[in-house]
Amino acid sequence: MLPTPVEDHADPSPGPAASAVSPLPAPRQGAAPAQAAASAAAAADEPKGCLYALSQPPLMLFLCVIGGLIGAGAAWDLLFL
């Protein structure tokens, strides 16, 4: 005999986390293009985070070489010393 599916009887009312989130404001209809360009330029000037810097290929190659050397040294110590 197959088991019957169990229905979820969760409380349909929103919890404290759902009520704490405010909706996004509606876009203004008459926004000037100069303001949109200024906000786009401000977004482009924001500094990039640490993960962006770590994702650069030269840095990744350098870290892989250093990690390989440390790993090879550790293996040498374990196997031959």
Cα separation, 54 vs 33, whole angstroms: 35
Domain extent at residue 56? 49-81
Q: Is residue 59 part of a domain?
A: yes
pLDDT digits (tens, 9 = 90+) for 15-30: 555 555 666 666 666 5
**Confidence category of residue 69, pLDDT binned at 50, 70, 90:** very high
pLDDT for the residue numbered 17: 53
For the chain, the domain total comes to 1
Residue 81 belongs to a domain? yes
Helices within 21-56 (DSSP H only): 33-44, 50-54
Q: What is the pLDDT of residues 3-62, one digit of tens each?
A: 665 655 555 555 555 555 666 666 666 555 566 666 666 666 777 777 777 778 888 899
- Rounded to whole angstroms, the Cα distance separating 11 from 63 reads 50
